[in-house]
Amino acid sequence: MSAMKSTSSLGRKRSFFYGGREDSSFKRLLIHSVLIIACFIAAYPILRIISVSIRPGDRLLSTNLSLIPPDANLQAYTTVLFEKEFLQWIWNSLVITIATAMVGVTLAATSAYAFSRWNFPGRSVGLIFLLTTQMIPAAMLMVPLYILAIRLSLVGTYRGLVIAYSVTAVPFSIWILKGYYDTIPLELEEAARIDGASQLTAFLRILLPLSTPALAIVFLFNFTTAWNDYLLARVILGSQERLLTWPLGLQRMQGQFQTQWGQFSAASMLVMVPTMILFLLSSKFLISGLTLGSVKG
Amino acid sequence: MISLDLVAKSLTEILSTILYVVGGTILLEIVLYVLLVRFLKLKLAMPYMLLAPAAVGLIALVIYPIAWELNISFTNMSLRHFKVTDYIGLTNYLRVFVDPVLKQVTFLSVLWKTVLWTGVNIFFHVLGGLGLALLLNRKMHGRGIYRTLLILPWAVPQVIAVLAWRSEFHFEFGFPNLVLKSIGLQPIQWLSEPTWNFIAMCITNIWLGIPFMMVILLGGLQSISSEYYEASEIDGASAWQQFRNITLPLMRPVMTPAIILGTIWTFNNFNVPFFINQNELESSDILVTALFRAAFQYNRYGFSAAFAFIIFAILVVYSLTYLRFTGGLKGAFE
Amino acid sequence: MIKKLWMLLSILMIAAFVLTACGPQAAQPTEAPAAPTEVPPTAAPAATEVPPTEAPAPTEAPPTEAPMAAVTIQLWTKEGEADGGLQFVQGLTDQYSAMHPEVTFEVINKEVETLREDFQTASLAGAPPDLLWTVSDHAGPFTAADLIVPVDDMFDLSAYVDSAVAAVVLDGQTWGVPISNGNHLMLLYNKDLVPEPPQTTDELITMAKAITSGDTYGLVYNQTEPFWLVPWLGGFGGKVFADDGVTPTLNTPEMVATLQFLHDIKYVDKIVPAESDYNGADALFKEGIAGMIINGDWSLGDYKTTFGEKLGVARIPEVTATGLWPAPYTSGVFFMIPKGLDETKLAVIKDFVEFTTNEENQLAMVTTLTRLPALKVALDNELITSDPILAGSAEQMTVGTPMPTVLEMRCNWDAMKPEMQAVLADQKSAEDAAAAMQSAADTCITTLD
């Protein structure tokens, strides 16, 4: 950040691109106030879910606006954790999601390499095809996917789900990785090959280490796709009680008319924990990675 | 609770999955190697071999369902014609445009609703994301905390966030109405009044979508070297001029993919319109929710297949046009 | 080179196309041979473990089953955990497995709509579950798509309450075995606020007005679902279908009167809140802000826990203008049997169904789930007649009317919902709404083909 004085201090707060400690205190106050309000808006609905989870009696709604209800208790949490199969669902989801992320990253890394480094017939078509897969309305695929899964005996197995998730996340992953690879000059690999390295070594030793940020993004994206998905899990795992992932499990808490709101909210909060941890750990990568891949347009 | 043998069972399942995938890939590669290198003596065998696993997966999981749906779209499949169907040619496609797609609302009005929905959301996403990014793009105390809190809407699983917002729009118990009542204003019927329901949908989606934009745009801002600003300051440029001539153009490579992806995802967003609209107001349905209802609530399978393809076609045309303008297909070898 | 690729792609697409075209038909041959196996009438009962009832006593005599081969029955149930239903089902299956060790059950809970969609999809793919425990209105879609089998020959249906069985009679055949009956709306009141229930609508309005102030409401109900409109329609003498049972009759003076009534108690008498869905009404009643609520028998257990002795149950009050009692829809939870099961499974299923609906288990259901049984003998039991809440529920049920389960009913529900909401939001007049309902329903009927 430049240490240059910002002489044009009369502009709107949004016009300062590299403000630093020289900003007037009024401006700083304004900026912080806006940010605090924004954070409140961002966090408030979540806080309300928390208050439903500590409110006894499955009362989703209440005229009481306070975030901590007068008769709050943690019973919903203990019930969910210890009396239901919640931990089992989380475990299932975790196992599937990590496997998906591993498979997905590998698939994307190799395929993006092909798109970035070679010009082969069908390349443009392939890239456009990948983009179009993002546009397919999911409802369209449910019935045929189920039929396909039964034919290939993928129903009720983790195998089917991991493959389905990886394939779902592949198009976006390839686009991001390809963009990132494009910013890394070919000369680096060529130099390595002149020195006698095989193509594989060049890929593994030169390109991949330089692409760590983009790989982290792809890992995160695969993770969240698999972690939060409901539709595919319902199609493939729908009839296997012991293999339920948490979205399917949470659905079970909703009855035809009655819903155990207390437990539902407690479970929702607990489910966010792994995602939040992952986001926090990788936030650095997230920001630089998402943009570096697109700088070249 | 969780029992040890269940843990063991799922671990074995996963292990077998990985072996299955790895084994299948190796097999595929061997076959391709023999075919392409030895047999056809292709020089460009490598990229195909690299792409093969992903291609196989995509063909199975994407092309097969699409082909199935295409087939169905030419039939009269519904509950009365469930297992045995008749081919009726392009009738379904015609019906999509002529008959109501839901109970009373027609295709064009839902299309218009969807375009409005997408436009409003993207506008505020970019505005809000850019605004927050600009604010965060400086040294300040608590920047990390702000960033973490502001990312919350993105980290929450969408279904949970949407259900939370739906409770907030409740007439008696939701936060906005309770606040309105305390100021002395009339509470709003968010869930039963068409206009307000649409606004409620937009509010929810805007809340959900700003963090993603903010993160991307912040990264883009950070990659702009401060030299440009310094140089322009020396030349006496005003803040607005700096914004228009430095920030915006240099942000374009970042904003373009974000906007195109954001547009597609908003256009196809199912969760928000579906769950905020629990009264099933037809005026609040966008194309994909109408499609879902046609397929699963009314079981008009053939009709909804045709409907799906028309939605798909619209998006394809849009994306192709956009891509042509921005040249997003180029690769490193060029 | 590009041309070659396009050719390859087109061949792939055509191949996939052809595969899919052949696809669905492939599932059919497996259905045909299984269909004729309608289980022959039950063999002479050997040992019985239940006190004599009219229903053919369930037998565990091995001779009627295949020789002790392990059988797994996949049961899909709409019962969730929230009201204890799923636990009850699992209890039953565990009991049965204990008596018949070679039979194992896989009980899978699915929400009602999910169950319908998934069953249809699974049947299409040729892999349906073995038994369904679901709501009566699924009979319509499942019979239209030809996915379940009629049960007239398999069970003695005279042992069950007539109105319960009538709900799943379509085209002269019965398509399910009733487990519980009711699912009907009734008037529930908080005795602290409303000591005596109103008998007529005029009384209702007067009583409610007395309690309604800025902070309290006289009456609440789910204003978003037409299920809550139908009782009043019956009270004004209307019906949603003509006598043929499949033609919608929504644009009638009775419907207009009903809509006008609901509109007026909100805007003229002002005894109901401006907006209130299921959860809202429920919360208001539980928090003691509403004196009376119109809710169904599924909520009885929950309210019993909250209010204990203070909970009162009564019939929805008689409509003063017509002198008729409002007629809420009664429906039930039924066993339905998918097509294409083999003999062994069918025998086990038959046995299990009879076990579940025997007197002992029916009474257990009454105590556990606070639901009215479908077995005639159980309904006359003291357990019900002595409990004020159950007795009140049974009283309401006697003036109820069975909910139509034909496929066309869906069109009625869909047509009524937005119009009802429009009237309650004061955006449409009752006459316009009724007319709009009729046209929507008519359009919908044409799309059913």
Higher pLDDT, C257 or B98: C257
pLDDT category at C27 given cuts 50, 70, 90 is very low
Q: Is the pLDDT of residue A288 over 70?
A: no
Question: In this predicted structure, what is the pLDDT of residue B192?
Answer: 74
Question: In this predicted structure, what is the pLDDT of residue C213?
Answer: 84
pLDDT category at C231 given cuts 50, 70, 90 is very high
Q: Is the pLDDT of residue C261 over 70?
A: yes
Number of structural domains (chain A) is 1
Q: Is the pLDDT of residue C220 over 90?
A: yes
How buried is residue C243: exposed, middle or buried, by Cβ count under 10 Å (0-12/13-18/19+)?
exposed
Chain C contact for A252 (CB, 8 A cutoff): yes
Percent of chain C with pLDDT over 70: 85
Cα C274 to Cα C217: distance, rounded to the nearest angstrom: 10
**What is the domain-level CATH number for residue A130?**
1.10.3720.10
B44 and B162 part of one domain:
no
Tokens matching residue C448:
């059913």
Provide the CB-side half-sphere exposure for B56 (13 A, CA): 15
Question: In this predicted structure, what is the pLDDT of residue B321?
Answer: 82
B274 and B312 part of one domain:
yes
Q: Which residues of B fall within a CB distance of 8 Å from C24?
A: 83, 85
Domain hosting residue A279, numbered range: 80-292
B217 and B150 part of one domain:
yes
Lowest mean pLDDT among A156-165, A211-220, C325-334, C366-375: A211-220
- Mean pLDDT, residues C74-94 taken together: 87
Residues 6+ positions from B34 with CB-CB distance below 8 Å: none
Number of structural domains (chain B) is 2
Write the DSSP string, C253-290. HHHHHHHHHHHHHHHTS--S-SS--HHHHHHHHHTT-E
User: How are beta strands C401-402 and C329-336 bridged, if at all?
Assistant: parallel
Question: In this predicted structure, what is the pLDDT of residue A255?
Answer: 60
How buried is residue B120: exposed, middle or buried, by Cβ count under 10 Å (0-12/13-18/19+)?
middle
| Cβ pair C78, C110 in contact under 8 A | yes
- Mean pLDDT, residues C163-182 taken together: 88
pLDDT category at A296 given cuts 50, 70, 90 is very low
Q: Is the pLDDT of residue A281 over 60?
A: yes
pLDDT category at A286 given cuts 50, 70, 90 is low
Q: Facing residues of C372 across strands? A: C181
Where does a domain end: B56, B72, B88?
B72
**What is the domain-level CATH number for residue B130?**
1.10.3720.10
Nearest alpha-carbon partner for B128 in C222, A34, A287, A100: A34
Provide the CB-side half-sphere exposure for C385 (13 A, CA): 6
pTM for the model: 0.78
Is residue B298 domain-resident?
A: yes
Is residue A26 domain-resident?
A: no
pLDDT category at A2 given cuts 50, 70, 90 is very low
Residue reference for tokens 């079970």: A252
Question: In this predicted structure, what is the pLDDT of residue C178?
Answer: 92
How buried is residue C200: exposed, middle or buried, by Cβ count under 10 Å (0-12/13-18/19+)?
middle
Domain ranges of chain C: 69-182+331-397, 185-327+407-446
Question: In this predicted structure, what is the pLDDT of residue C23?
Answer: 34
| Sign of torsion over alpha carbons C167, C169, C175, C178 | positive
Is residue B334 domain-resident?
A: no
Q: Facing residues of C131 across strands? A: C75
B153 and B295 part of one domain:
yes
Is residue B318 domain-resident?
A: yes
Instruction: Say whether B155 and A276 touch across the interface (CB within 8 A).
Output: yes
Instruction: Measure C260 CA to nearest chain B CA, in Å.
Output: 18
What is C185-327+407-446's CATH topology?
A: D-Maltodextrin-Binding Protein; domain 2 (3.40.190)
Q: Which residues of C fall within a CB distance of 8 Å from A151?
A: 23, 125
B246 and B114 part of one domain:
yes
Tokens matching residue B9:
């069972």
B320 and B209 part of one domain:
yes
Which positions 13-52 of A are in contact with C (Cβ < 8 Å)?
none
Residues 6+ positions from A144 with CB-CB distance below 8 Å: B64, B65, B68, B69, C20
B310 and B223 part of one domain:
yes
Structure-derived torsion over alpha carbons of residues B52, B56, B57, B63, reported in degrees to the nearest 10: 130
Q: State which of A92-96, A212-216, C26-30 shows the largest mean pLDDT.
A: A92-96
- As a whole number, the mean pLDDT across chain A is 77
Q: Give the model confidence (pLDDT) of C103-130 as tens digits.
A: 999 888 888 888 998 899 889 888 899 9
Q: Is this prediction's ipTM beyond 0.95?
A: no
Cα A132 to Cα A129: distance, rounded to the nearest angstrom: 5
Cα B134 to Cα B24: distance, rounded to the nearest angstrom: 48
Question: In this predicted structure, what is the pLDDT of residue C60?
Answer: 39
User: How are beta strands C290-296 and C185-190 bridged, if at all?
Assistant: antiparallel
Question: In this predicted structure, what is the pLDDT of residue A256?
Answer: 55
Q: Which residues of B fall within a CB distance of 8 Å from C427?
A: 193
- Mean pLDDT, residues A174-186 taken together: 80
Q: Give the model confidence (pLDDT) of C397-447 as tens digits.
A: 888 888 888 888 988 998 898 889 889 988 889 999 999 999 888 888 887
B56 and B104 part of one domain:
no
Q: Closest CB to C111: pick one of A121, A122, A256.
A: A256
pLDDT category at A19 given cuts 50, 70, 90 is low
Instruction: Say whether C80 and A252 touch across the interface (CB within 8 A).
Output: yes
Is residue A98 domain-resident?
A: yes
| Cβ pair B186, B180 in contact under 8 A | yes
Write the DSSP string, C139-200. HHHHHHTT-B---TTTS-GGGB-HHHHHTTEETTEE--EEEEEE--EEEEEETTT-SS--SB
Question: In this predicted structure, what is the pLDDT of residue C350?
Answer: 92
Q: Which residues of B fall within a CB distance of 8 Å from C20?
A: 64, 67-68, 71
Question: In this predicted structure, what is the pLDDT of residue A57?
Answer: 66
| Cβ pair A270, A79 in contact under 8 A | no
Instruction: Say whether B332 and A181 touch across the interface (CB within 8 A).
Output: yes
Q: Give the model confidence (pLDDT) of A109-148 as tens digits.
A: 989 888 888 888 888 888 888 878 878 877 778 888 888 8
Is residue B288 domain-resident?
A: yes
Cα A113 to Cα A189: distance, rounded to the nearest angstrom: 12
B270 and B202 part of one domain:
yes
Is residue A11 domain-resident?
A: no
Is residue B77 domain-resident?
A: no
Percent of chain C with pLDDT over 90: 36
Tokens matching residue C414:
């869909």
Q: Which residues of A fall within a CB distance of 8 Å from B66?
A: 136, 140
Question: In this predicted structure, what is the pLDDT of residue C251?
Answer: 92
Q: Give the model confidence (pLDDT) of A37-80 as tens digits.
A: 999 888 888 888 888 788 776 666 665 666 676 677 788 788 77
Instruction: Say whether C124 and A147 touch across the interface (CB within 8 A).
Output: yes
Is residue B81 domain-resident?
A: no
Is residue B83 domain-resident?
A: no
Cα B308 to Cα B66: distance, rounded to the nearest angstrom: 10
Tokens matching residue A154:
């993928």
Q: Is the pLDDT of residue C144 over 60?
A: yes
Instruction: Say whether C114 and A234 touch across the interface (CB within 8 A).
Output: yes
User: Which regions of chain B are under pLDDT 70?
Assistant: 1-2, 172, 279, 326-334
pLDDT category at A9 given cuts 50, 70, 90 is very low
Question: In this predicted structure, what is the pLDDT of residue A6?
Answer: 39
**Cα separation values, A286 from A216, A293, B224, C252, Å:** 7, 11, 17, 62
Domain hosting residue B163, numbered range: 96-326
What is C69-182+331-397's CATH topology?
A: D-Maltodextrin-Binding Protein; domain 2 (3.40.190)
Q: Is the pLDDT of residue C13 over 80?
A: no
Cα C80 to Cα A249: distance, rounded to the nearest angstrom: 11
Number of H helices and number of E strands within chain B?
Answer: 15, 0
Residues 6+ positions from C85 with CB-CB distance below 8 Å: A255, C77, C79, C369
- Mean pLDDT, residues C286-310 taken together: 88
